[in-house]
Structure 1
């Protein structure tokens, strides 16, 4: 898989995380605190700058009160 493909998928993942977070009325700071992460780390996830681990995504899903599948963007 080309690096550009990976980058675009991380951006899509981050956009989905942000969409779900905002639908719950939470700020990055609130969610980061709830899941014991640093806000800048969550910001990097939402911007597609880092590849979060499965555990990180599980933590986010739990903090948002959703199933992890809701954080994974649908295929286009």
Structure 2
């Protein structure tokens, strides 16, 4: 199994956050209010421009009302 580089992984993770946010029909600002993260930071996370801490993962999961594991439920291209 091959693993993505750091940049690619951050982009895949960010895409998953954006997908979940859109499925919940939340704007960046709405999600930011639900998880106490600045909306500009969420935008950077979704674009793969921000490497985040474990506590941020918990906050995002709380705001999206999903188990933290769901945030990592994306396919890694081989």
Question: Common fold, TM-score beyond 0.5?
Answer: yes
Gaps of 5+ in 1: none
Conserved in 1, the CA contact under 8 Å of 2:34 and 2:62?
no
Describe how 1:1-76 pairs up with structure 2 within 5 A: 5-72=5-72, 73-76=74-77
Where has structure 1 moved over 2 Å in runs of 4 or more? Answer: 73-76
When normalised by structure 1's length, the TM-score is 0.89
Cα offset for 1:74? 3.2
Paired residues, number: 73
When normalised by structure 2's length, the TM-score is 0.87
Gaps of 5+ in 2: none
Alpha-carbon RMSD: 1.3
